[in-house]
Amino acid sequence: MSTPKIDVQVISSGILSDDVLMLGEYLMKRSKIPAQQQLTLQFGAFRHSVTIVPVPRYEGIRMSQTLARRLGIYNGTPLRFQYRAASRTLALGPLIGVLVSRDDPEASDKPFGDITMFCRELTEACRKQGAYVYFFTPGALRSSLTVNLEGWVYHSGWRRILLPSPDVVNNRLTSRKLENLPAVQQFLKEIKQQYGSHVFNEKFLDKSEVFEALKKDESLHRYLPESHSLRHYSMLKSMCYRHPTVFLKPIRGSLGKGIIRLARVGPESWQASYATVNGTRKQTFDNLTKLYSSISGKMKSVKYLIQQGLTLIETGGRPVDFRALTQKNASGRWTVTSIVGRTAGTDHFVSNLARGGTLSKVREAVGKSNLPLVYRGDASARLQRAALDIAKGIEDRIPAQFGELGIDLALDTAGRVWLLEVNSKPSKNDNTPLTEGKIRPSVRMMIQYARYLSGF
């Protein structure tokens, strides 16, 4: 990532024409950019023929007001640039587009609801790295693909302007329904084909898809509890007789919604514990046939993964698990940005924050737990190793591009690391390091990966 970072100076169109750029003389020599010749200016999907004029003792770039408006660039915008000699192209960027679920033009101070502060944070981090970011919704994709999109930028307040289609799209859609809209799928396909754009976190992951894919890698078997798609009574019976506790998880569920824990409480009787917002609701069944009858109606609309129950470490009787945020770095390799411990709330058996869970550092979570001392010393390192192994497994076995994955892991009372689930749209709350600064490492890492993808 040696591309220079420069500031854009916007000049009156009466002084500078739209087909002329002024660039610092030293930068031109360093990048071997020919002067007074026709070149192509590129910014995302935007292409425009320009002539470059050198400016002595100047380290930025100057363009006309009209040209800057077409690019969506404001005076003082910091950008990276590179000269691609083979195509005689001066590229500015990277231009990053974040696809979000919804916006509210009436709420000018908080157009994206709860994620508005994340969007501000990302904007500030991009300025520091010389990247340009904007935010757009599926509503901006109503017509066929064009060079320009209507997106939101932060410049002395939130505003909507026209911008070129981006070099890199970070898919932050939080709804499968929105993600599967024909306009969204067509847009993502066409920008890759027509403009060479990159898209990461392309799709949601279903729980059954993840476990079926990872089963194909023998090196990952040690992390995988026995898991199957629940399709019929015989599967339920088989799993329940092999394991004293099993979990039923909606394959497309999130935030702990709809999870059912089944535990044997007698020779034939079973207790079902249902995760609800207010706590755990329990119901006992005389036999598995009655239990299956109680959920068979739901199975017509909800597909379940049935999974081996684990003896998780606990703190004060509350289960503890771990959320690892894995991200691609500036070299395109997986790295662990953070791992936090998550302790379930009182009367809950799932640890999600939305269900009353609390966050802590790994050392603190392990230290307060019932994990035997002999397994504590390298617990953090083993969790990190598992997170990296699983992220690489997802990349190898599932045909989609991911830049970050939220990987939920557990330790059992024998110190073994287990995979609980993988989230391709990780929350910006659950994975926050507890010693965060103003700009989180996870945000900086996302920009570095976007720069890697786009060549800036």
Write the pLDDT tens digit of every residue in 324-379. Answer: 999 999 999 999 999 999 887 665 556 555 555 678 899 999 999 999 998 898 99
Write the pLDDT tens digit of every residue in 169-214. Answer: 999 999 999 999 999 999 999 999 999 999 999 999 999 999 999 9
243: Cα separation from own chain's centroid = 34
Q: Residue 348 has what pLDDT?
A: 54
Q: What is the mean pLDDT of residues 153-159?
A: 94
Least confident range from 142-146, 164-168, 228-232, 430-434: namely 430-434
Write the pLDDT tens digit of every residue in 97-137. Answer: 999 999 999 998 899 998 999 999 999 999 999 999 999 99
pLDDT at 24 over 80: yes
Q: Residue 421 has what pLDDT?
A: 92
SS3 269: coil
Write the pLDDT tens digit of every residue in 329-339. Answer: 999 999 999 99
pLDDT at 386 over 60: yes
Q: What is the mean pLDDT of residues 394-420?
A: 95
Write the pLDDT tens digit of every residue in 426-440. Answer: 876 544 544 445 788
pLDDT at 398 over 60: yes
**pLDDT band at residue 28 using 50, 70 and 90 as cut-offs:** very high
pTM, two decimal places = 0.92
What is the rounded (10 degree) CA torsion for 417, 224, 259, 341? 20
Write the pLDDT tens digit of every residue in 265-290. Answer: 888 899 988 877 777 788 899 999 99
Token reading at 117: 């502060």
Q: Residue 434 has what pLDDT?
A: 43
Q: What is the mean pLDDT of residues 412-437?
A: 76
The CB-based long-range contact list for 284-292 (8 Å cut-off, 24+ gap) reads 288/233, 288/236, 288/237, 288/240, 289/233, 291/236, 291/262, 292/233, 292/236
- The alpha carbon dihedral of 142, 144, 150, 152 has a sign of positive
Token reading at 349: 């058996």
Q: Which of 105, 103, 81, 78 is nearest to 91 (CA)?
A: 81
Q: What is the mean pLDDT of residues 34-57?
A: 95
Strand stretches in 329-382, DSSP E: 334-343, 358-361
Residues linked to residue 25 through DSSP beta bridges, in sequence order: none
Quote the CA–CA distance of 87 and 72 in Å, as a whole number. Answer: 24
SS3 265: coil
